[in-house]
Structure 1
Amino acid sequence: MEESQQDAAVESDEPHNLEEMMRAIEAIETPSGRIRFDEVLDAIGRRSFGPLLLLAGMVTLMPVVSGIPGVPSLMAAFTLLVSGQLLLGRRTFWFPGWLRNRTLPSDKVHTGLKWMYKPARWIDRLLHSRFSFMTGKQGMRVTALACFVLALAMPPMELVPLTVNIAGVALTLFGLAIMARDGLLSTLAFIVTGTSLFTIIYNLT
């Protein structure tokens, strides 16, 4: 009983849509001019699958951030850790120090966030709780498996223009679908995932 109450308290502090996620990241103080990944995890919460997937998708989608060499591969490693631990049944997520201590230029992050605010508000208005079986316990495991496979494909996607951004769209949709319990959005995310995997296989064969 006490553990479930603690879980509910944690979830209430976490962002529930895309704009809330962005504002939580934007509020991080960065006197050094760089944002530590650990600070971002503190801002959005470390225990919920949806916000963590949404974070990976957002970073991969921001042109000024995803264009930094190695960032898509970093987000791929992050997604592998999150989805892999969910598949193993962990209730909380563990991240190694080398990942938590990575930093990004705060000016590029803030530029990317400003670029995303207008579409974020439009997207948030479309979110609804529907087809809940797609975001239930079994649906989450299937989603985790899809994200695990997608993350494995992300490093070579850096070699093919725009494909890593498609992967970012898929991760963003999956994250939003879980947060809003929107099964229709989850279905769309699976379609985008299939498209991105087909594109990278086609271009590399």
Structure 2
Amino acid sequence: MPRSQSPASLTDVLNLLRANTRGQQQVSIGDVLDAVGQRSFGPVVLIAGLLTLAPLVGDLPGVPTLLGLLVLLTLGQLPFQQQSIWIPSHLSRRQIERHKLTKGLDWIEKPARFIDRWTSQRLTWLVRGPGRYLTALICMLVAAALPAMELVPFSANGGGLALTLFGIALVADDGLFALLGILFTGGTLWMVISGLMGL
């Protein structure tokens, strides 16, 4: 897929990440933004969710928190109709080894192809117009909770899954996935609150 074209599916996002980071030993957050497009709010949410779920990436201490911060900074700019996504330079330079990223993408690839077969444009009021901002606010709530999720076993995976569902919804214009994301958000936040009260 041409780099200038916005990704329209989960597989498109994975292909962009592979193609536009090829030949690098280290991949920075800035590289990821460049790979999917500087105005691609949906793909950024999707990538943050996928990397939180991916083995060898999301399991690293601090990574869910870093990805949550990326989502907060990205979606916080959505109402201002920015021409490109701005993030602080110290965050943009944060890196991960590409071989770990590649292994995570390999793990996600087969489920991605399956999910893409089930996406379509439906319930679009949840991902366009005012509904898009509601979805963004819920994504930001999940992202803000990711640091606490690192303290409760397996809850960060729930947060990553919720972000992945919201990302798919925004990329594919599929509001059904946004509804699923809302359900997982509620369940995950309940798990986090219960877990923190039990500490």
Please give the TM-score of this superposition, normalised by the length of structure 1.
0.90
| 1:29 aligned onto 2:22 | yes
What residue number does 2:161 align with?
169
Equivalent in 169, 184, 189 of residue 192 of structure 1: 184
**Structure 1 residue matching 2:27: 3-state secondary structure:** strand
User: Per-residue deviation at 1:14?
Assistant: 2.1
**Structure 1 residue matching 2:96: 3-state secondary structure:** strand
Select the structure that is richer in helix: 1
Q: 1:95 to 1:185 in 2, by over 3 A?
A: same
Distance 1:81 1:12 in 2: 23
Q: Is the contact between residue 64 and residue 108 of structure 1 (CA under 8 Å) also seen in structure 2?
A: yes
Alignment deviations for residues 2-48 of structure 1 (CA, whole Å, 9 cap, x no partner): xxxxxxxx9961221111111111121244x2112211111101202
Q: What 5-or-longer segments of structure 1 have no aligned partner?
A: 1-9
| 1:39 aligned onto 2:31 | yes
What residue number does 1:90 align with?
81
What residue number does 1:7 align with?
none
Mapping of 1:119-130 within 5 angstroms? Answer: 119-130=111-122
RMSD of Structure 2 on Structure 1 (CA): 1.6
Please give the TM-score of this superposition, normalised by the length of structure 2.
0.92
Q: Is the contact between residue 36 and residue 43 of structure 2 (CA under 8 Å) also seen in structure 1?
A: yes
Q: Is the contact between residue 82 and residue 93 of structure 1 (CA under 8 Å) also seen in structure 2?
A: yes
Q: Percent identity?
A: 41
Give the total of aligned pairs.
194
Q: Is the contact between residue 4 and residue 37 of structure 2 (CA under 8 Å) also seen in structure 1?
A: no
Amino acid at match of 2:107: W
Amino acid at match of 1:170: A
Stretches of 4+ moved more than 3 A in 1?
A: none
| 1:204 aligned onto 2:188 | no
Q: What 5-or-longer segments of structure 2 have no aligned partner?
A: none
